[in-house]
Amino acid sequence: MQVSVLTGVQHIRLAERPVPTPAHDEVLVQVTAVGVCGSDAHYYREGRIGDYVVDGPLVLGHEAAGVIVAVGTEVSDTRIGQRVSIEPQRPDPTSAQSRAGRYNLCPAMEFFATPPIDGALAEYVLIQSTFAHDVPDDISDEAAALFEPLSVGIASAQKARISAGSSVLIAGAGPVGLVTAQVARAFGATEVIVTDIDASRRANAERFGATRVIDPAAEDVRAVTVDAFIDASGAARAVIDGIHAVRPAGTVVLVGMGGSDYPLPISVIQNRELLLTGVFRYANTWPIARALVASGMVDLDAMVTARFGLDGVEDALNADRQPGSIKAVVIPGLSKETNA
């Protein structure tokens, strides 16, 4: 099979590898679509994200969908031919966090495209059968691949305690900010305010669920009053301003990956009794993602702005620098000449 491999900073090459054989609890998935995440681009450009360092060849890509073509001995062969969305993680089911239902926090987690675990930019991948979620025919391969970033939005909205009538401020109108805005509306938020310094991104936010957009360079974000603030930008100024916008007893959720340390307005958090928490991936979100997309409450297909084959992964990783880009998708088998 063909595999796209990161072999060094800003260096991608195609390689041939044997098609893997599923273990007893695994399925072999022929990959049909892979979304390109900001973390993939970061590994490509920097070779690391925080403590995660690429120190050998790595296959990127963790937003994936495909078709099951083979199964392990403990998996029913009725699953062969099933279209699936891949939840790209393998926790230790015996860890304390997994047993508590927080398997995303399992210290022994093996996560796609997180060094040294290979990801999905390949023609075939293995995943435990319980993490290969079936997809109905009316959901596209591309949307099924994007259940992964949608799951980040779902986990964020859950942590923000969004419900009917909630007001929420979201900083950052990149892919995660856009799916979070859609989820917030689906969860019943009646006021969804999205901030971004880029005008085209603010326009995207208006298309994908925002009831109001703000240019933080021109308006005072702290003048807003909301029940919850979700940061999807990683920008220190956005986080601090967003905290100031939350009413007493509200919630602050940090999702964006920015600097590892910056000062927070402790007196505001303390005096308003704000709940401040983070989001690290997700747990038990795929059934919700499937229901939201199937119902039409979340539109993932409209977020895809470019498509590439395995021979165009380098272009896909740089697509976020193109005007109007929201989400690039890699489709194994698509030739470079037909990239769209």
Q: Are residues 181 and 243 in the same domain?
A: yes
**What's the structural domain count of the chain?**
2
Let me know: does 160 contact 228? Beta carbons within 8 Å: yes
Q: Are residues 155 and 92 in the same domain?
A: no
- Report pLDDT digits (tens) over 13-30: 999 999 999 999 999 999
Range of the domain at 159: 150-278
Q: What is the per-residue pLDDT for 261?
A: 86
In a domain, 283, yes or no: no
- Whichever domain contains 215, its CATH number is 3.40.50.720
Mean pLDDT along residues 225-231: 98
Q: What is the per-residue pLDDT for 340?
A: 54
E strands, the chain, in order: 2-8, 11-16, 26-35, 48-49, 52-53, 63-71, 83-86, 89-90, 110-111, 124-128, 132-134, 167-171, 191-195, 212-214, 226-231, 246-254, 275-278, 304-308, 327-330
Q: Which of 35-44, 57-66, 259-268, 310-319 has the lowest mean pLDDT?
A: 259-268
In a domain, 108, yes or no: yes
Q: Are residues 159 and 129 in the same domain?
A: no
Q: Are residues 177 and 253 in the same domain?
A: yes
End-to-end CA distance of the chain: give it in Å, rounded: 23
More confident residue, 259 or 139: 139
The alpha carbon dihedral of 110, 115, 120, 126 has a sign of: negative
* Cβ atoms within 10 Å of 252's Cβ, excluding its own: 25
CA distances from 84 to 31, 132, 147, 248 (A): 9, 6, 11, 42
User: Quick one: three-class SS letters along 194-245?
Assistant: EECCCHHHHHHHHHCCCCEEECCCCCCHHHCCEEEEEECCCCHHHHHHHHHC
pLDDT mean across residues, the chain: 96
- Report pLDDT digits (tens) over 251-287: 999 999 887 788 999 999 999 999 999 999 999 999 9
Mean pLDDT along residues 314-326: 94
In a domain, 267, yes or no: yes
The confidence band for 126, taking pLDDT boundaries of 50, 70 and 90, is very high
- Whichever domain contains 58, its CATH number is 3.90.180.10
Q: What percent of the chain has pLDDT over 90?
A: 94
Q: Are residues 154 and 142 in the same domain?
A: no
